[in-house]
């Protein structure tokens, strides 16, 4: 094991993957884990044709270079240059091998797991809380746009056999996932498009698409997408003046968002709309007195939500100032009154956090919206 470059992480051997990076202490979501200088730069590597002149490297750098894996049958230099990462913004458009960043292994998005970190130049993006000793991984391939089995794609493009949990599933299960992901992509593109295109009139059957989409999301474990979809359903029900169904979708959207990402003020705004629907420009039917009965989230959707949220995320304290996760035998308390009807539980690590969260906004949501 090499000396850790950063206080909370270490480069270690990971069975079957060569080296990898693990957390040495819990890392909170949103923490910048690494910001480092390149170790071996390769200018103008964009077209991937320029090779590296090994003779130009110092002995120490050459040794470092050779520690990177090179899959069987690949050229020993080019095979290792696959691990280069672009130095974004560098005037010479260089790519480089970095001591730590380049040691991060890949995890596919699947019902069995996903990357817990990402390379980003956008500060707002946050991934997961990371537990002590957990491996820190990123995604080498696009999360949801893959049109083929990620295991096969990684073998073709990267030359390695992915050992993440999702890729250890039997081929038939992986292919089912690919089908769901494709359906999900079609719905994701089409639903907002159809809602936008028909700005004066939203076809009712979008609700069926949203429900199908949600079931695919839940099966794939893309839980962070749930709130956006549920929010679309909220808008649709609101548009047709079904305040009760709109409110149930809205609570679901907001609570899922809160459990997974933390409080979002846009979602907090929609809570206010539910409380005062006439303030909502699109809430046409209600305002015009032509309300139509639609449907809230079905039991199937709700139980999928519950399972997806619970299995893909550790139970977290819902006080966004805290976000502790439940560990060991100490069980978090639940807010009983609020979301039992939706099948979602809101957890708190302590009475203090429950009170703090109540004061900072839970009070306005708790069980009220569903009674509209």
Ligand X SMILES: C[S@@+](CC[C@H](N)C(=O)[O-])C[C@H]1O[C@@H](n2cnc3c(N)ncnc32)[C@H](O)[C@@H]1O
* Cα 248 from Cα 67, distance rounded (Å): 54
Residues 10, 27, 52, 164: which binds ligand X (CB under 6 A)?
164
With beta carbons less than 8 A apart as the criterion, state whether 315 and 353 touch.
no
Phi then psi dihedrals of residue 354, to 5 deg = -65, -45
Residue reference for tokens 């009712």: 204
Nearer to ligand X, 14 or 131 (CB): 14
| In the complex, least distance from residue 326 CB atom to ligand X, rounded to whole angstroms | 28
In this complex, which beta carbon is closest to ligand X, that of residue 19 or of residue 194?
19
Closest CA to 277 of 251, 239, 249: 239
Total site size for ligand X, rule CB under 6 A: 18
Per CB under 6 A, 83 contacts ligand X: yes
Does residue 69 bind ligand X (CB under 6 A)? Answer: yes
Q: Which of 105, 235, 270, 312 binds ligand X (CB under 6 A)?
A: 105
CA 206 – CA 231 distance, rounded (Å): 13
Task: Determine, following the binding rule CB under 6 A, whether residue 41 of this chain makes contact with ligand X.
Answer: no
Under the criterion CB under 6 A, does residue 40 sit at the interface with ligand X?
no
With binding defined as CB under 6 A, does residue 103 bind ligand X?
yes
Using the rule CB under 6 A, give the single segment among 51-59, 102-110, 238-246, 269-277 that binds ligand X: 102-110
Nearer to ligand X, 168 or 292 (CB): 168
Query: Judged by CB under 6 A, which of 9, 20, 258, 294 binds ligand X?
Result: 20
CB of 35 to ligand X, least distance (A): 17
* Position 162 contacts ligand X (CB under 6 A): yes
Among positions 9, 10, 17, 98, the unique one binding ligand X when judged by CB under 6 A: 17
For ligand X, give the closer residue by CB, 17 or 248: 17
Residue 26 in tokens: 């819990």
Cβ closest to ligand X, residue 139 vs residue 296: 139
68 lies in the binding site for ligand X (CB under 6 A):
yes
In whole angstroms, what is the distance from residue 259 CA to residue 276 CA? 24
Residue nearest ligand X (C-beta atom): 18
Contact code string over 115-154 relative to ligand X, x by CB under 6 A: ----------------------------------------
To ligand X, the closest distance from the beta carbon of 86 in angstroms equals: 13
Site for ligand X in 325-354 (CB under 6 A): none
Min CB(61)–ligand X separation in Å: 15
Long-range contacts of 49-58, Cβ-Cβ distance < 8 Å, separation of 24 or more = 51/77, 51/78, 51/81, 52/77, 52/81
Regarding 160 and contact with ligand X (CB under 6 A), the answer is yes
Of the residues 10, 22, 27, 102, which one makes contact with ligand X according to CB under 6 A? 102
Residues that bind ligand X (CB under 6 A): 16-20, 68-69, 83, 102-106, 158, 160, 162-164
């Amino acid at each position: 094991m090499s000396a850790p470059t950063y206080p909370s992480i270490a480069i270690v051997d990971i069975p079957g993957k060569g080296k990898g990076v693990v957390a040495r202490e819990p890392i909170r979501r949103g923490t910048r884990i690494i910001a480092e200088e390149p170790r071996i730069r390769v200018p103008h590597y964009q077209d991937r044709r320029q090779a590296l002149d090994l003779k130009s490297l110092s002995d120490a750098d050459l040794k470092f270079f050779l520690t990177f894996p090179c899959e069987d049958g690949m050229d020993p230099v080019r095979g290792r240059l696959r691990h280069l990462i672009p130095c974004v913004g560098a005037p010479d458009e260089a790519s480089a091998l970095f001591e730590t960043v380049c040691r991060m292994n890949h995890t596919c998005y699947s019902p069995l797991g996903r990357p817990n970190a990402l390379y980003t130049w956008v500060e707002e993006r946050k991934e997961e809380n990371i537990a002590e000793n957990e491996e820190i991984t990123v995604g080498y391939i696009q999360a949801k746009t893959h049109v083929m089995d990620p295991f096969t794609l990684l073998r073709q493009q990267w030359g390695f056999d992915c050992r993440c949990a999702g890729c250890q599933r039997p081929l038939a299960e992986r292919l089912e996932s690919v089908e769901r992901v494709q359906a999900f992509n079609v719905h994701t593109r089409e639903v907002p498009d159809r809602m936008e295109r028909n700005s004066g009139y939203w076809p009712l059957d979008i609700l069926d698409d949203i429900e199908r989409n949600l079931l695919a999301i839940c099966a794939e474990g893309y839980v962070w997408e749930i709130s956006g979809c549920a929010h679309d359903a909220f808008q649709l029900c609101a548009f047709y003046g079904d305040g009760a169904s709109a409110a149930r979708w809205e609570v679901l959207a907001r609570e899922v968002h809160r459990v997974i990402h933390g409080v979002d003020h846009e979602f907090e705004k929609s809570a206010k709309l539910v409380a005062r629907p006439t303030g909502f420009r699109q809430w046409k039917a209600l305002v015009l007195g032509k309300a139509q009965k639609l449907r809230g989230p079905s039991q199937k959707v709700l139980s999928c939500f519950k399972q997806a949220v619970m299995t893909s995320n550790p139970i977290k304290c819902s006080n966004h100032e805290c976000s502790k996760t439940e560990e060991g035998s100490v069980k978090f308390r639940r807010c009983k009154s609020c979301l039992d009807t939706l099948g979602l539980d809101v957890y708190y690590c302590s009475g203090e956090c429950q009170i703090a969260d109540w004061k900072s906004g839970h009070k306005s949501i708790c069980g009220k919206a569903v009674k509209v």
